[in-house]
Structure 1
Amino acid sequence: MTQSTQYKLLSVKFTDAIALVTLTRPAKRNAINLDLVGELNHCFGSMPDTVKAIILHGEGDHFCAGLDLSEVREHTVPQSVMHSRMWHEAFEKIQFGRAPVIAVLHGAVVGGGLELASATHIRVAENTAFYALPEGKRGLFVGGGGSVRISRLIGVNRMSDLMLTGRVLSADEGQQVGISTYLTEPGEGLKKAMELAQGIATNAAMTNYGVMHMLPRIADQTIQDGMATESLMAAVAQTDPATQRLLAEFLDQKKNKVQRS
């Protein structure tokens, strides 16, 4: 069964355990303004417990062309800080929310759009996608968490190159440096994302939680602290009733063994 929720700048559709969240500002290449930040914050912060996987998509020819610059032209320092913190709050709810998020990238994935994509857990790129961080050429600095998330995806040196030179990466280059995890033909990204979401939705909830919430935190810890946290998460995950069912299915040979693709 499919249900939908309509925001001003977002469309949200629910099909069984999967939510499709679409940016609906195509005339502005889905550029992010304060209204859209607020809607993303509310949407991901109030996602129903029944949702087990989320797909994030952009309407039209582009995923997201970044910050709506018309809103920040006259900002004071305090206003700019609060503006950045609003983005942080919204994107935290994407990265550390209730369900894994798969982004479908096409066309422009630029500036704040790349920051938004980096807050998701899996990125499927169509080969029309292109990536840039033009902040350096606009007299700006990233403010949506990109200095933390994007630098970890592609490395500080490569991020510095994008910001200092205005370099634009193609979809193939983005795949090579680790921005995307899957690459498809034009128009095939949503289909691939749905296929992935359907599989993720059948995972044990505590395993998905561990991947979303604990892996990034373990990466920030010392080796010994990370090992201790890992052992605790492994023990908690095994208590999930879904884990017991999945293990039983495997041991009873109802689930296929891992094979080479």
Structure 2
Amino acid sequence: MYQTLSTQLENGILTITINRPEKMNALNQQVLADLALAVDEIYSNRDIKGAIITGAGEKAFVAGADISEFLTLSDKQGEELAKKGHVIFQRIESSPKPIIAAVNGFALGGGCELAMACHFRIASDNAKFGQPEVNLGLIPGYGGTQRLTQLIGKGKALELMMTGDMINATEAQAWGLVNHVLKPEELLPKAIAILQKIKTKAPLAIARVIKCANAATDKDQDGFELELKEFGACFATKDLQEGAAAFVQKRAPNFTGE
């Protein structure tokens, strides 16, 4: 089904591996097309409760974009390429099901942008993050100027984007870019464990948490007003009735997403 991805669905968790290790899993137009299909599958397949995005091999999550594709692009074509990335990464960020980036090495340029589009990031202790586009006469084009600023603050984001420097996993965690830093062999088990815990919660509530949290950085939405509406909407769900009853009866809830 995919030319540049390998996928595995187990116990409701879809693991998406960007599989171009010979190119350090660099993003090209085929990877973007395959990611778009995989994200569609996350949205539409009821058996998928959450997803992990990672990279093949031990060196790179995604080490950037495939620069060879840039050499022949006009300004308009460059803008169109960026639009494709924006659409796909926005779909990841807006997914009603949790998507975790398991960053297992270099996450540079478009790779850092892909990781930031996920709901949160965990990293192996050999991971490195950066937006080195200025070294090529470029800027981040897949939402990186916005998401990096939102996640770590304007001053740090500007320093990283203007110097092109990389930071290691420990620095990324200290700056708020990464939630957990682990040994490489612990990375995927940790991501799976987090998603297994989230799977036990009410799926409609999880989707509403994602929606409201995203509104906090959306200038076109009033996040507080959205929270009021989404909180109220929970009271029309069977999941709330089940959760409240289970709490009173001192038992584990059985949520159905209704």
- Measure how far apart 1:8 and its partner are: 0.8
TM-score by length of 1: 0.90
- Measure how far apart 1:72 and its partner are: 0.7
Which residue matches 1:18?
13
Residues 27 and 222 (structure 1), Cα distance of their counterparts in 2 relative to 1, 3 Å cut: closer
Distance 2:53 2:234 in 1: 27
* Structure 1 segments of 4+ aligned residues over 4 angstroms from their partners: none
Which residue matches 1:36?
31
Residues 33 and 57 (structure 1), Cα distance of their counterparts in 2 relative to 1, 3 Å cut: same
Q: How many residues align?
A: 250
Query: Could you tell me whether the CA contact under 8 Å between 1:21 and 1:54 is conserved in 2?
Result: yes
Which residue matches 2:197?
199
Secondary structure of the 2:244 match is helix
Mapping of residues 82-231 of structure 1, within 5 Å: 82-220=80-218, 225-231=222-228
Which residue matches 1:57?
54
Distance 1:177 1:14 in 2: 32
- Measure how far apart 1:49 and its partner are: 2.3
- Measure how far apart 1:222 and its partner are: 8.8
Distance 1:119 1:73 in 2: 26
Distance 1:63 1:187 in 2: 14
Report the residue type matching 2:131 in the other structure: L
| Deviations 1:52-78, CA, capped at 9 Å, x for gaps | 111111110211101110101121011
Secondary structure of the 2:122 match is strand
Query: Could you tell me whether the CA contact under 8 Å between 1:132 and 1:167 is conserved in 2?
Result: yes
Which residue matches 2:256?
none
Distance 2:234 2:14 in 1: 24
| Deviations 1:58-110, CA, capped at 9 Å, x for gaps | 11021110111010112101100000001111111211124110110121011
Secondary structure of the 2:184 match is coil
Residues 196 and 232 (structure 1), Cα distance of their counterparts in 2 relative to 1, 3 Å cut: same
Report the residue type matching 2:38 in the other structure: C
Structure 2: state its 5+ residue gaps. 253-258
Distance 2:214 2:198 in 1: 18
Structure 1: state its 5+ residue gaps. 1-5, 256-261
